[in-house]
Amino acid sequence: MNTMESYLEGKWRIGTGKRTTLVNPSTGEAVAEASSEGLDMKAALEFARAAGPGLRAKSWKERGEMLRVMSRAIHAHRDELIGLAIMNGGNTRSDAKFDVDGASGTLAAYADLGVELGDARVLPDGEAVQLGRGARLFGAHAWVSRQGAAVHVNAFNFPAWGLAEKAAVALLAGVPVVTKPAISTALVSHRIVKILVDEGACAPGALSFIAGSTHDLLDHLDGQDVLAFTGSSDTGALLRGGKSVLAHSVRVNVEADSLNAAVLGPDVEDGSDLFHLFIGDVVRDMTQKTGQKCTAIRRVYVPRGKEELVEERLSERLAAIKVGNPSLDEVTMGPLATEQQLKDVRRGVARLETCARRVFGDPNVVSPIGEGTSRGFFISPILLVSDSPEPTDAVHTHEVFGPVATLISYDGSADAAAALVRAGWGGLVSSVYSDDKAFVKSFVLAVAPFHGRVTIGSSKMAGQAIPPGTVLPQLVHGGPGRAGGGEELGGRRGLAFYMQRVAIQGDRALVESILA
C-alpha cells in the first residue's frame, strides 16, 4: 500500500505508530496510509522559519515568478491529480477539475500580482501624512513581511485548491508554509507537494507538508508565526484557544461553517433566463462535490406563492443527477468523502426534519451506478421545505455538509428576505436573483455586514455569471460569525494576514527612502 510521507526539514519522513488508512469513498477500498507520529514538529517549524530570509530576499516579482512555476507544475500534472481526486475524494471529473484548476489558477493569479507589485519588498499603505507644522516631519504606513512561518490546516473537501490558495498568498508575502491537509483526502495534496519538491518549484524550505496530525506543532507557534485554518467551527474554536496562540498573540484566520443562502426576487418569472440561472446555481451548489463545499447554497428563499413551482423545477433537475462511482463518465455526483461524513449528513438531515419536511430524496435510499459501490459512502441529493422556521430552528443553525438544501418562503420584501438570511448568523456568500434595482440594493446592504461576499444575478449578466459557490482569487473569501470571522484572498488584501502594518514617522526624505 502507498505510504504517504511528510516533507519536513527538507526531507521526506515517515512517522511511527499507528497509521491512518485513506480509502476510496466509492468502494471503501484502502488506497494509502500515513502517520506523522514521532516526527519532530518543533524542528520542522524552526526549519520553515529559517527559510524565511531566503524567500524575503526575493522581490515581489521574483516570488510571483516562483508561484508561476508552481502553477505550471500543477497544471502539467493535471490529469494525474484529477485521477487521484476521483479515487481518494470521490470527485467526479468535473469536481476534480474545479479543485485542481482552482489550485493552479489561484497560484497564477498571485503570480500576476507579484509581477504587478514589482521589484520592491515592502508594500506601501496609503499616502504619507504631514505630522508637524513644517513640511519635514512625516508619517507613513507600510506592510512588511512577518518573520515566522505560516501553518495551514485545511479541510478535506479541497485538497488541491485549499493547499494552493493559502500557500500562494503566504509565499508571495514572503512567509514559508507548513501545510497540513485533512488526512482522509490527502493523496492529492501529497502528490502536489511531491511534484513541487521534485521539480524544485519552491524556494528551498519554503514548503513543508504534514501527512497526518499536527501533534505538538501548534504549541511551538510564536508571535511572528500565523495559523490559517479551514474546517469545522468546533476545531476552529479549539485551535483559536491553543495555549501558544493565546500566550504569543499568534494571528489566526478561521474559515468555518456557513449556511449560504440564495434568494429569488419577486420579479423573476418562470422560464426567464434569470429563473434558469437561479435554478441552475442551486442545483450545481447542492450537487457539485456532493455538496461538500463551504460555499454551497444551503437555504433557498422564494417569494410566497412560488414555493411549489421552485420545488417542482429543483426536483426535476435533482432527479436527473446520476449518483455513482465517479470513475464512470455518466456519473454526475460521487459519494461523500468518508464514512463519518455519511453518518454526519444523515444525522444532519434528521435535525433539519425537526423543522422541515423532505420533498426530494431519502438519506437512507440510493442506488449508485458502478461496480463495487455497495461499500461506498453514497447519498441521494435531498431537498426539504420549511414553512416558517424560527431563527433558532436547525435550518438556520445547522450546516449539513452534503447535497442538502432547504426551500423556505418569504413575503416578497427585501427586508423579510434579509432578516431570514441574517438568521444564519454570518456566512461566506449569499446570492440574490432579481432585476428590481430597489429590491437588490436594499437586500444587499441589509445582508452585507453578515457576509464576506454577496453575488447578484440579473438578466443582463445571466449568460456570463460566475456561480456563487466559486471562490475567486480577486475577491475576499471568508465571513463573520458562524463562518469563522476570517478573510482570505481578495488580491493584495490577502497579503495583510502574513504581514505587519507598521507606521513609520520621521524625516520625510528618510521615511520615503526606506519605503521606496
* Residues of this chain that bind ligand NAP (CB under 6 A): 153-157, 180, 182-184, 214, 230-232, 235, 238-239, 255-257, 294, 399, 401, 428, 483-484
Distance of closest approach, residue 60 Cβ to ligand NAP, in angstroms: 26
Q: Which residue is nearest to ligand NAP (CB)?
A: 231
Is-catalytic flag, 294? yes
Identify which of residues 311 and 399 has a Cβ nearer to ligand NAP in the complex. 399
Pick from 209, 117, 114: which is nearest to 163 by CA?
209
Kindly name the residue from 5, 165, 255, 399 that is annotated as catalytic. 255
Report the C-alpha gap between 257 and 233 in whole angstroms. 6
Please, what is the minimum distance in Å from the beta carbon of residue 296 to ligand NAP?
9
Residue number with CB closer to ligand NAP (92 or 157):
157
CB of 122 to ligand NAP, least distance (A): 29
CB of 478 to ligand NAP, least distance (A): 7
Helix (H, G, I), strand (E, B) or coil at 406: strand
19 or 68: whose CB is closer to ligand NAP? 19
Residue closer to ligand NAP by CB (options 71, 338) is 338
Which H or E run contains 212?
none
Spatial contact of 239 and 252, defined as CB atoms under 8 Å apart: yes
Between 55 and 296, whose beta carbon lies closer to ligand NAP?
A: 296
Contact 137, 505 (CB under 8 A): yes
What pairs with residue 455 in β-bridges? 431
Residue 413 or 470 having the CB closest to ligand NAP: 470
Angle, nearest 10°, between helix axes 414-422 and 437-447? Answer: 20
Beta-carbon contacts of 32 under 8 Å, excluding residues fewer than 6 positions away, are 1, 2, 3, 4, 21, 22, 88, 187
**Grid coordinates representing 11?**
526531507
Residues facing 20 on adjacent strands: 34
Of 326, 85, 325, 335, nearest to 190 by C-alpha is: 85
Distance from the Cα of residue 34 to its chain's centroid: 24
Cβ-based nearer residue to ligand NAP, 155 or 383: 155
Of the residues 5, 202, 294, 488, only one is catalytic, namely 294
The total of other beta-carbon atoms located within 10 Å of residue 411's CB is 11
Least distance from ligand NAP to the Cβ atom of residue 401, Å: 5
214/459 with CB nearer ligand NAP: 214
Least distance between ligand NAP and beta carbon 486 (Å): 7
Of the chain, the end-to-end C-alpha distance in Å amounts to: 54
Smallest gap from Cβ 327 to ligand NAP, in A, equals 23
Contact 226, 251 (CB under 8 A): yes
Rg (CA), the chain: 24
Query: Which among 229, 108, 89 has a CA at the least distance from the CA of 158?
Result: 89
Strand intervals (E) in 1-56: 2-4, 6-8, 11-13, 20-23, 30-34
d(CA 461, CA 502): 41
Handedness of CA 503, 505, 510, 511 (dihedral sign): positive
| Residue 31 Cβ vs ligand NAP, minimum distance, rounded to whole Å | 16
Do the Cβ atoms of 60 and 120 come closer than 8 Å? yes
Closest separation in Å from C-beta 155 to ligand NAP? 3
Ordered DSSP codes for 224-287: T-EEEEES-HHHHHHHHT-HHHHHTT-EEEEE----EEEEE-TTPPTTSHHHHHHHHHHHHHHH
Angstrom distance (rounded) from CA 259 to CA 344: 16
The answer to whether residue 202 is catalytic is no
Q: Which is nearer to ligand NAP, 265 or 484 (CB)?
A: 484
Q: Which residues are catalytic?
A: 255, 294
